[in-house]
Amino acid sequence: MLRLATTTSVEHSGLLPYLLPEFEKKNGIKVHVIAVGTGKALKMGENGDVDALLVHAPDAERVFMSKGFGEKREEIMFNHFLIAGPDRDPGGIKKCKSAAQAMKRLADGLAAVISRGDDSGTHKKEQALWKSAGIKPQGEWYLEVGRGMGPALLMASEKGAYVLCDKGTFLSMKKRLELSICFEGGDSLLNVYSIISVNPKRHPRIRHGLARKIVQWMVSKEAQRSIGAFTVEGGTLFRPLRIQGKVK
């Protein structure tokens, strides 16, 4: 069995239940998926608790690789982050021209902001956006919940709050939410996912052969086409990097 630590955003989107059976059938193995935030996934890789990672925090991933915890890292797909919120948009986010401007509007506190607060890739992106906007979020309007993407979206919907999320999870859950897309677009909201095999020199007991197989398979034409073909309600959730490259 291959142990794969991945992000809650990938799991909640429905991609892995769609994608992994192809890999399992082809290789005659089962994949045990552990859905956590990217920070926790990387820590599991550091400890040798998993064989491979599917994560989306490029800066943290590069640190992980530079310290010798990962053997191979391949960028495989992308989508974008977006800011979801109440359709009436009390903060006026829909009128913003940049992510920095949108973050400044959020900090006005005209509506609550839900933060995952879980060291996930999405949380790391949110922190980077606040920093870029020159803001340290604090106050009753800012709620760190320590939850995955799905629960954070549901909480934002219940409270009429804003939340940063990946587009894949938003689209897959859209019918369950009383939220709309208030801001999206631009390179600053690009969301790239990578597959990483844990370094067997650090942890000789990991299933290195299986980890190498899933890395190789994820960059194959077969898997890349499957990623691009995955849709929910007619919407494409992830774009395969090896087929078409990054887009804005």
Closest CA to 169 of 10, 47, 39: 10
User: Hey, what long-range contacts does 129-132 have (CB within 8 A, 24 or more apart)?
Assistant: 129/99, 129/100, 129/103, 129/164, 129/188, 130/103, 132/99, 132/100, 132/103, 132/188
Same domain, residue pair 70 and 91: no
Same domain, residue pair 34 and 85: no
Which of 171, 189, 207 is a domain's end point? 189
What is the reported pTM? 0.89
pLDDT in tens, 20-69: 999 999 999 999 999 998 999 999 999 999 999 999 999 999 999 999 99
CATH of the domain at 157: 3.40.190.10
Task: Write out the residue range of the structural domain in which residue 93 sits.
Answer: 80-189
Same domain, residue pair 118 and 173: yes
Q: Find the farthest-apart pair of alpha carbons in the chain and give their distance in angstroms, rounded.
A: 55
Closest CA to 101 of 169, 189, 161, 37: 189
Q: Is 234 left (phi over 0), alpha (psi -120 to 50) or beta?
A: left
Same domain, residue pair 53 and 113: no
Same domain, residue pair 147 and 220: no
Contacts (Cβ under 8 Å, ≥6 apart) of 166: 9, 13, 56, 79, 80, 81, 82, 122, 149, 191
Q: Which residue has the higher pLDDT, 234 or 71?
A: 71
Same domain, residue pair 93 and 72: no
Give the count of domains, the chain. Answer: 2
Same domain, residue pair 103 and 199: no
% of the chain exceeding 90 in pLDDT: 86
Same domain, residue pair 227 and 171: no
Same domain, residue pair 72 and 93: no
Which of 189, 204, 233 is a domain's end point? 189
Q: For the chain, report the end-to-end CA distance as a whole number of angstroms.
A: 37
pLDDT level of residue 248 (50, 70, 90 thresholds):
very low
Please determine, for residue 235, whether its predicted confidence score (pLDDT) is greater than 90: no
Which of 189, 213, 231 is a domain's end point? 189
pLDDT level of residue 8 (50, 70, 90 thresholds):
confident
